[in-house]
Structure 1
Amino acid sequence: MARTGQSLVDRIRLRREMRRWRRIARGAPRAPMHILRDHRNQARGLRELLDRVIRTAEYRLTLPYVGSNAFPVPHDADWSWRPQLWREPLTPRGMASVRSKSMLGAEASLFHDCDRSELSMRQVRNRRESDLAPFGLRLDVFTFDGTFLSLVLQMPPEAVAGLKRRHLIRMEAIVELEKPLELFARLNIRHGPNTEQLVREVELNGRDMVVEFDLAYSKLNEKRIEGAWLDLIFDSPEMNQIVLRDVTFSRRPRAEL
């Protein structure tokens, strides 16, 4: 049978060890120097292990839970997805002086045309009870001498499996801005040698962002769909901090008229 906690023997040993360290702490002001030096070295080693346990426990026990893929989706959705960056811890967690096409994780890339990059991006931990995503993405933009800045999210194969022109693709996000800017979302679907592009200007309602792409207005060749990705395009991002607390996608068939 799997052990679910400490055994009685472990608890007894722990109580004895704690009593020992209480005695050491009480006697430290009067202990001989050579004994005090040994106790100090032991305590430092023990503190390192205890700090590691505390950091790991606080990291894993802080809501929302790492790996969570829970978020509201339309009742008739046939696919939903939260990208890896907002779901799982990444290594590395961030980078400074970001070059164009730099990737954070396997699905997110940052594109720009700056001669000198004064951009940084970093995965951050969401810790508020209102957050459903375990992680967020923070972009810090200082001097910006380019003409465009876009975050590209590569969608998984499931996003286009069985995709039809009667589908609606929905993106929802929670966005925090240091100062207002214009934001555009562009859905790209590759079909054969062509790429269909649908662009929407994003209207921020407070922090919440919702964009829907109706594929009925596209010239999509349903029989040759190969893949899809989405660009989030930030207009005039200079001297701004952009935090994407969550980004999710869902797909549903349009109601028949």
Structure 2
Amino acid sequence: MAPRQDGWLGRRLAAATLRRWSRAADDAGEADLGLLRRQRSAARALRQRLDRLIHVADARLALPVIGNQSFPRPAESDWAWRPELWCGPLPVKGISSVVSQSRLGSEVALFHDCAFSEIALRQLRNTREQDIAAFGLRLDVFRFDGSYLSLAVDLPDEACAGLKRKHLLRLETIVEMEKPLEIFARLNIRHGPNTEQIVRELPLNEENTVVEFDLAYTRLNEKRVDRMWVDLIFEGPEMNQVILRDLTFSRSPRAEF
């Protein structure tokens, strides 16, 4: 572990070092040439290290913060969440020749019925200035001989707690793709032996894509809700690359009239 340098003593030493180099810079015009030569060598060595620090700091501070759970959401939301894949680094960054039901992290799984998989999944670090999520997910599909391809995202228990038919569930994502395709979002809510499903097509004409699931149109048994997940279904994914820069969920009660 690197020693702490932001304590009282570290700040005093840094201030003293800054004063020393300030005096040397002020006196450089009249300093002894031997002393000036030594100071120049020391200053060059110091500048190399400072330049390296500035370069690394600029790069790291420009990236979205790891673990960030903040994002715009309706003011009346009573629950909001960003899955771990978009928050922090996973132990396994990617999978190639993905077999059906393969998981990337603990919350995301890929399903398909291809006889031979030419599909790859990979977590990537977001670096764009406008990105809020620290990481994104890249899906590469080459030859595709199946009839379906879906990405399942398990929602946490907190999403089920206190869930009512008066709730709206909001999904927001940022999607990039090499060529146009259709993506559908299917909300699945298991309550007892039954599972309610609501399907929405993602409007991909804008960078920030939002869909809402209105639970009023379901026959939800509010007392028996025990699991929720969302399937992102990709239609005609062959020879395409899709990047989900962000994926967030929030829940809010419908306005009463």
TM-score normalized by structure 1?
0.80
Match of 1:201? 201
1:232 paired to 2:232: yes
Match of 1:245? 245
- The number of residue pairs the alignment matches comes to 228
Change (3 A) 1:94 1:196: same
How far the C-alpha of 1:228 sits from its partner, in A, is 0.3
Unaligned runs of 5+ in 1: 24-50
How far the C-alpha of 1:226 sits from its partner, in A, is 0.3
Q: C-alpha distance in 1, partners of 2:101/2:56?
A: 32
Contact 2:160 2:226 in 1 (8 A): yes
- Letter matched to residue 90 of structure 2: L
Match of 1:190? 190
- Letter matched to residue 157 of structure 1: D
How far the C-alpha of 1:60 sits from its partner, in A, is 4.2
- What is the aligned-residue RMSD (CA, Å)? 2.7
Match of 1:174? 174
Q: C-alpha distance in 1, partners of 2:228/2:132?
A: 25
Query: Secondary structure, in 3 states, of the residue corresponding to 1:204?
Result: coil
How far the C-alpha of 1:62 sits from its partner, in A, is 3.5
Query: Secondary structure, in 3 states, of the residue corresponding to 2:190?
Result: strand
Query: Secondary structure, in 3 states, of the residue corresponding to 1:109?
Result: strand
- Letter matched to residue 107 of structure 1: E
How far the C-alpha of 1:207 sits from its partner, in A, is 2.1
Unaligned runs of 5+ in 2: 22-37, 46-51
Q: C-alpha distance in 1, partners of 2:95/2:75?
A: 38
Mapping for residues 40-119 of structure 1, pairs under 5 Å: 60-119=60-119
How far the C-alpha of 1:54 sits from its partner, in A, is 9.5
Change (3 A) 1:197 1:143: same
Contact 2:137 2:243 in 1 (8 A): yes
Query: Secondary structure, in 3 states, of the residue corresponding to 2:85?
Result: helix
Query: Secondary structure, in 3 states, of the residue corresponding to 2:211?
Result: strand
Q: Percent identity?
A: 60
Q: C-alpha distance in 2, partners of 1:58/1:84?
A: 25
Q: C-alpha distance in 1, partners of 2:175/2:89?
A: 20
How far the C-alpha of 1:256 sits from its partner, in A, is 1.1
Change (3 A) 1:207 1:124: same
Match of 2:6? 4
Contact 2:62 2:129 in 1 (8 A): no
Change (3 A) 1:56 1:190: farther
- Letter matched to residue 112 of structure 1: H
How far the C-alpha of 1:206 sits from its partner, in A, is 2.5
TM-score normalized by structure 2?
0.80
Query: Secondary structure, in 3 states, of the residue corresponding to 2:103?
Result: strand
Superposed CA offset, 1:226-256 (max 9, x none): 0100000000100000000000001000011
- Letter matched to residue 231 of structure 2: D
Query: Secondary structure, in 3 states, of the residue corresponding to 1:159?
Result: helix
Mapping for residues 205-216 of structure 1, pairs under 5 Å: 205-216=205-216
Match of 1:27? none
Q: C-alpha distance in 2, partners of 1:67/1:117?
A: 32
Q: C-alpha distance in 2, partners of 1:151/1:54?
A: 40
User: Which portions of structure 1, spanning 4 or more consecutive aligned residues, are displaced by more than 4 angstroms?
Assistant: 53-60
Contact 1:60 1:66 in 2 (8 A): no
Contact 2:169 2:250 in 1 (8 A): yes
Q: C-alpha distance in 2, partners of 1:90/1:54?
A: 27
